[in-house]
Amino acid sequence: MTLWSRWVALMSRTEHPLGLALFRIAVGLVSLMTVVSPVWSGVVELIWTDRAHGGYRLISKGPWLVEWLGGPSPEVTWGLLSVSIVSSVFLIAGVGGRVVAFICLWTTMGITDMNGQAGGSYDELLTCALFLVVLADSTRTLSVDCRIQTGEWTCSTGVPSWPRWLAILQIVTVYWSTGAQKVSAFWTPAGGFSAIWYILQQPSWQRADMAWVAPFYPVTQVMTATTWVWELTSPLLLLAFWYRHTRDRPGRLRGFMNRVDWRLWFALFGVMTHIGVFLVMNVGPFTWVTLAFYVAFFHPDEWMGAARRLRDRFSA
């Protein structure tokens, strides 16, 4: 086969729709949490309207969608917010397919891009996740769309698998670029691997006073070193997926990475890291939008196998 033929064959691969459906639900939940949180806290107009309408800063025109609708006024903000909330709920339920995902993408992006001081890089990552849902056939199963089309809540008709692969590539890119940008000496032996200890002492990040961490400085050094190395070596995850895809081929490294299941160890470290960050630091929805991508790490057959094992255990 020519290189192009191989590429076409790879992109034409299909898989059970469960994986992308779970990704859709996870992203919808994060999107809903992101836009509902300011409503719950009562700060919507404070952070997402112009100073002239009661906001704390001058926003001027806002993103193009906000500008097109008339500017960062309470009416525009609440209108976009309402559509974002409804479309997030529809996304979770699997209503409207790619059209609803597209609406959710643009309204959520319009809201979160309104004020850069009231958000973070997690907003851009959420935008990337929503864009992947637009590309994916994610309502084929576990959705209202499936119920309407087939009369059942589930369906096993295959869907293209490449959007799930893009999700894996996206999160690897996030981790590797984050590690590569850690150029401060404090992330290296030259600075004593002291970065995390210093970060935990910054009031802007703390959920509570972290003075109690002082006796555990060596532990934070280990955490700093392992986190940095984990991020820099995240491209190995792509190699692990390729080795699983070609597991029938020879090679010691291929056999080793499949035998130990590199994906699982990578995911376990990532989950512990992100949950730990969430417990001690105020980083917005970063933890949850990042973990939403972890759904893509495992093939739909693996998710179904795990569900069967749980069902058998609880029914025994």
Token pair recorded at residue 233? 């070596």
Q: Find out whether 17 and 140 touch, Cβ atoms under 8 Å.
A: yes
For the segment 182-191, the average pLDDT, to the nearest whole number, is 92
Give the pTM.
Answer: 0.94
Query: Does 99 score more than 90 pLDDT?
Result: yes
Mean residue pLDDT of the chain comes to 94
Cα 16 from chain centroid (whole Å): 21
What's the distance, CA 55 to chain centroid?
A: 29
What DSSP designation does 297 have? G
Residue 7 confidence class, pLDDT cut points 50, 70, 90: confident
The average pLDDT across 58-83 equals 93
Provide the b/e sequence for 272-285 (b: ≥16 CB within 10 Å).
ebbeebbeebebbb
| Six-digit token string for 19 | 């994986």
Question: What is the predicted pLDDT for the residue at 316?
Answer: 66
